Each structure stands twice: as structure tokens, then as C-alpha cells.
Structure 1
Amino acid sequence: MMRFLDTVMGIPMSLDIRDAGDHHAAAKEAFALLHEADAIFSPYLPGSQLSRLNRGELTLETTGPAFLEVHELAARFAAVSGGVFSLQAAPGRWDLNGIVKGWATQRAAQRLRVLGVANFVLNAGGDVVAAGGSGPGTAWNVGIRSPESPQRMMAVLALRDMAVATSATYERGLHIVDGRTGRPARAFASVSVVAADLTVADVLATTVFAMGPDGPRWAAERYDCSVLAQLADGTVTDAGELRRWLAPAPR
């Protein structure tokens, strides 16, 4: 087992590899892709393409291919969600935070696979790609923390070649905006989405959170995903085939 740590987008990220051999070079390439995404999309770096776009120094057409790819993906989700998922933090100000981390992490995971790494977990601040298994015939156990306490788990998932993303209020407060109203969403304390692709899981976690109580069923009916959510009043709800991914209770 090899473990690698880095801080990207201001978030602690980790990569655990269970394949035999030396994978330092592969890990370096994966984290380089994550740093590259931060350099393009960060709203905090003045030289990022997103910051330059918001200052009017670039137009959408003069950004690079990565920006255009993410913009196209985000625009599709905005359309499908009826505007719940938004590409803008305010009129005239682009904000792709609801998709960038998932997209970048999925891209890094795909690079690891191309380089021959088959069994790994890439954890980007709680958004996770679980590839292969933690051992022969053994899935990766991925915990979803309770909004009330980092020591408590809402659920533990057993994942192989799947991803899970969470949107919640416990670290950044009411930061997720319903694109239809421009106001912070308040119905949920936490929303986690399990899907085969972390880009999809990340966008759907944000969209479901912003959509409110109708969100879990909406996502499960339209995408091959499962949802676990806790409402602001503490009620837990799920949609899709969540029970398929629950890890067996310890004996």
C-alpha cells in the first residue's frame, strides 16, 4: 500500500494505492492534473481563467479547451435541472465550483487508470473515486459523515469502481444557491450521491441540495445514481438503490 497527500483547491486530498510496485510517478501526474484544474478554475487565484473571465479580460470563446469542456457539461446540467444548478454566482460572474472538483478528480482518476493503477481511492476533501478494491474480492469502505459530528457516520458504503460526492453545510455553512431564486438552499444539512462518475455525483449532490426535498427522487429517476440525504430537521431520506452500496454491519 502506498499513500500520497497533497493540498489542492485549499482542500486536503489523499490517494491510497493497493497495487504492488512504485507508483510515485503516477501519483505525481494525478495531483498535477488537480493543480492544473485549480490554476484554471479557481475564483481565488487572480491569474486563473475564471478570474480573468470575470474581470472581462477573457471571453468564453478565448478560454482554453478544459474551461470550455467544463462549461459545456455544467450548461447541460443547468438545463436539465431547470436552472437549479447555476453556472454563475451572480449576474455576469461565472462560478463553476459545483462541478470543477468532481471533474478534476475524475480526470485524475482516469489518468491513474491509464498509467496502470487499478486499485486505489482518490479522496478530494470527502468526494471520492473508489477504483478496484482494497484487497482481493474486497470493496473499499467509504464513510459518509453525519452533519452533527465528524466522529459519527450516517452510513458506510462498500464501493468498487464507483464514486461518491457530498454537499453539506457543516464546513462552509449555507453556501449552495438555488439558481432559480439566487438564494441559499436551506432544506438539507447534507446530500451524498453515489454514481459511476464523480463529475456526475458532484453536480448532482449540489443540484439535489439546491432543489430541496424533491431533489433525491428527481436525481434517481433521471440518472443511474443513489442518494442519501439528511434534511435540516434531522430526517434522513434516500433514493435509488442506496442499499446496494451499504457496507455490511460489523459482526
Structure 2
Amino acid sequence: MNVPRGAWVEQVMGMPVSVHLRGVTLPPWRPAFLDEVFAELHRIDALMSTYRPDSQISRLAAGELTVAECDPLIGEVLELCEQARTKTGGAFDPLLPAPGGDYLLDPSGLVKGWAVERVAHRIGECFDGDYYINAGGDIAVESRSGVAWRIGVEDPRPGGGLLGVLPLTGGGVATSGTAHRGAHIVDPRTGRPADGLLSVTVTGPSLTWVDVLATAAFACGPESFDWLAGLDSHAALLVHPDGTTAVTSAMATLIQPVSSAHQREDIR
């Protein structure tokens, strides 16, 4: 039996964001709840984009607003950022060193994964089938049927194809690296662009936290492997500048070689 499936894409947060649905109750037209999903992502972008001088996060950083004057979502994100800073020992920090001894407020390393996970919960409330949402490689997954979505892990080297396939029925997967945006991740401990790895892919129960972990691990470089390997319910893959890889034991159990994929990968 061919199960109906569909995909819809909008440009949000400076990137294509795609929602993929699969299930016998999926109508042949775009479900109305997707309007709400994409509208919420646009709202979050308007509030929290550091590229918009009129966003509340930019105005907060400039001293034009207090947290109390901001949308409650700003306070929620800042609290999560503080939790992330503590959990990663400072490898993730929304306060980045800036010229002149100042600091720049930039919670972007958490916002995208958090926003995608937030709207993924809304999809789950409105649709009883399987779904995933992909925002620039930050992916929230749910399969109520038990049929795994097959997530391709990209080789960050030019023309590298896929490193493997992750069969997932829930949770999130995030990749941080230089493949698409160059050296955009800063090590908050030094204020310099991180360059010890080409990419880090992490999967686990919460997209918000795997996004944080991937960002923090990339900032730390190869030394992050040991603490990633010690995390329960998470799996990680690191790609070194020479193209060699390091996988945690959980990732070694999970990842499949591309040659064993019986169908096309759902995400590349």
C-alpha cells in the first residue's frame, strides 16, 4: 500500500524550511495547519533574528529594551541559553566576545533548533501521521507508524555525498559545520572561529538540545568527543579536517552505510 505523503517548503530564517508529512489521513491538498506552522516560524524570526536591527533580540542587545519588555519567548530562550551554557561548561554561550572587550548577545545557536521543535509539536497536535521538519539541517522527526524516516548525513567535504543514513522514528538530529555557511561558529572561550572540525552531527530525544550539543562540540573541536560519548540517549559523528570520522558507540550502532539503504534517503 502506498501511503500518501507530501512536502511543503517556505523560506524562513534565511533558509528553506521544509515540512514532510506521511499518513493515510493526509489530504491531497496543503493542510491548513501549515499556515500556522510557517507563520509561527516567521514570528520567531522577526523576534529573534540578529540580522534584523528592529528585532527584539537586537534591541535588547543594544539596550533599547529590557527582558521584561520583550515577548515572553525571549525570556524563555535566554533561560534555555543559560541552561545550555551550564550544561556545556561554557562551550555554548549566547554572549560572544566582541572588539573592545564588549560582548555580543547572539542566541542563534539555540533558537533555530528550539523554533523547529516548537512548531513540530504543533504539527503533532494537528496531524495523526508521520512527519519531519527540516530547517537547514536541524531536523525534528516523528513516526507514529514505526516506519523510520531515513536521514542522510552529509559529508562536509566538497562533492562528498553522504557519510551514512540514520533511520529515525523520533527526536531530532542537528549538524554544525562549515559546509554551507563557512566558519560561522565562534568558540566563546576564545572569540575566534572554530576550525578543529569540519562538522559534528548529533541525534537525540530533543532537537533543541542536539542543536546546542552540535554547536558546542564544533566550537570545542576534537576534544568534544569524550563528553559526547558519555551522554545517555545521544549519538554523535565528528568529521576531522582530513576527512576521517569519529563516531560514538551509540552512533556506530545507529548509522547505516549508504549502500544498505533500500530506498532514497528522505533528507540529504
TM-score, scaled to structure 1? 0.93
For structure 1, the residue ranges without an aligned partner over 5 or more in a row are none
Separation of aligned partners in 1, 2:207 and 2:7:
21
Opposite residue 197 of structure 1, the aligned amino acid is S
User: Is the alpha carbon distance of 1:149 and 1:163 closer, same or farther for their aligned partners in structure 2, counting shifts above 3 Å?
Assistant: same
* Residue in structure 2 matched with residue 242 of structure 1 by the alignment: 251
Deviation at 1:52, TM superposition (A): 0.8
> Contact 1:5 / 1:14 at 8 angstroms: preserved in 2?
yes
Task: Report SS of the residue matched to 1:212.
Answer: helix
SS at match of 1:85: coil
Q: Are the counterparts in 1 of residues 149 and 168 from structure 2 also a CA contact under 8 Å? A: yes
Equivalent residue in structure 2 for 1:65, among 65, 72, 87: 72
The answer for the alignment partner of 1:44 in structure 2 is: 51
Are the aligned partners of 1:194 and 1:201 in contact in 2 as well (CA < 8 Å)?
yes
One-letter amino acid of the counterpart of residue 26, structure 1: F
Matches within 5 A, 1:105-120: 105-120=116-131
Match 2:17 to one of 13, 19, 42: 13
**Given that residues 54 and 92 in structure 1 are in contact (C-alpha distance below 8 angstroms), is that contact kept between their aligned partners in structure 2?**
no
Which residue number corresponds to residue 132 of structure 1?
143
2:133 alignment partner in structure 1: 122
Partner of 2:186: 177
Please say if 1:4 is aligned against 2:11: no
Question: Structure 1 residue 150: deviation in Å?
Answer: 5.3
| Cα separation, partners in 2 of 1:97 and 1:223, compared to 1, 3 Å | farther
How many Å separate the matches in 2 of 1:122 and 1:69? 22
Q: Which amino acid aligns with 1:75?
A: E
Match of 1:83 in 2: 90
Secondary structure of the equivalent of 1:5?
strand
Match of 1:96 among 83, 86, 107: 107
Q: Does residue 173 of structure 2 align to residue 167 of structure 1? A: no
1: CA distance, partners of 2:171 / 2:125: 17
| In 2, Cα distance between equivalents of 1:103 and 1:235 | 30
Residue deviations 1:155-182 (CA, integer Å, cap 9, x gap):
1110001210000101221111111111
> Which residue does 2:39 correspond to in 1?
32
Runs of 5+ unmatched residues, structure 2: 263-268
Give me the identity figure in percent. Answer: 39
Q: Distance in 2 between matches of 1:84 and 1:130?
A: 26
Q: Which amino acid aligns with 2:15?
A: I
Q: Relative to structure 1, is the Cα distance of residues 102 and 250 closer, same or farther in structure 2, using a 3 angstrom cutoff?
A: closer
RMSD over aligned Cα atoms: 1.8
CA separation of 1:172/1:21 partners in 2, compared to 1, >3 Å: closer, same or farther?
A: closer
Q: In structure 2, which of residues 233, 236, 239 is the aligned counterpart of residue 230 of structure 1?
A: 239
Q: CA deviation at 1:149?
A: 3.1
SS in 2 for 1:241: helix
Q: What amino acid maps onto 2:254 in structure 1?
A: W
